Amino acid sequence: MIASSPSNHPLGAVTDFSRAGRPLDLACARLKSAGLRITQPRVAIIEALIRREHPVSIEQLHHDLANDACDLVTVYRCLAVFEELGLVRRCFFHNGTGLYEINLNDSHHHHIVCKSCGKVERIDASFTENTERILRERGYEQVTHLVEFFGVCPACQKKTAEFSPLPAASITR
């Protein structure tokens, strides 16, 4: 079901960063406490992610940065670090390429992706079987969905010794 929210976003709540206690500071604090450095590229990337709010491709993110704030390679490297840190979440949509999304409060939510233009909107709340119907009521057509569950299977829990999880990439969390 689509979350109700104070925002008037057509699909429900959109994180209201303005009153969330300085998202950038939050992110920097997380970097610091992890022993990482606050560099100009990192700040620029985090700001761009916050501005975007929704999942973005690395390339798009690079374009977003003010006149070559940093190299594309740096964007790759920073996002890898951020993801490791949980500061960013990687989403895989139907094209197979990962999009990155800022993740400051570990909120668990989902997305509706336009099959035509690729526009991404956020859906809060846990999913239900009614979501598709609601989306159709909202005017979406050809509505489908993708659902995958992840977990560590019983067999793997036994062999704790050689346990080295797949790069699980906090997708949905």
Partner DNA sequence: ATGTCTGCAAATCCTTTGCATTTTA
Partner DNA sequence: TAAAATGCAAAGGATTTGCAGACAT
The residue ranges that bind its own copies (CB under 8 A) are: 90-98, 110-119, 123, 126-129, 131-132, 135-136, 138-157, 163-169, 171-173
Helix (H) or strand (E) holding 88: strand 88-92
Burial of 141 from C-beta contacts in 10 A (0-12 / 13-18 / 19+): exposed
Choices 15-23, 38-46, 119-127, 134-142 (CB under 7 A): range interacting with DNA: 38-46
Is there binding between residue 97 and DNA (CB under 7 A)? Answer: yes
Picked from DNA, its own copies, none, the partner binding residue 80 (CB below 5 to 8 A depending on kind) is DNA
Largest CA distance in the chain: 52
Tokens of 158: 């036994």
Between helix 72-85 and helix 40-52 the angle, nearest 10°, is: 70
> Does 39 contact DNA by CB under 7 A?
yes
Q: For the chain, how big is the Rg over CA atoms in Å? A: 18
Output the smallest distance, CB 55 to DNA, in A: 13
Give min distance, CB of 87 to its own copies, in A. Answer: 17
**Residue 142 near which of DNA, its own copies, none (CB within 5-8 Å, type-dependent):** its own copies
- State yes or no: residue 86 binds DNA (CB under 7 A): no
Secondary structure element (H or E) that encloses residue 30, with its range: helix 23-33
Binding site for DNA (CB under 7 A): 32, 36-42, 58-59, 69-74, 76-78, 80-81, 97-98
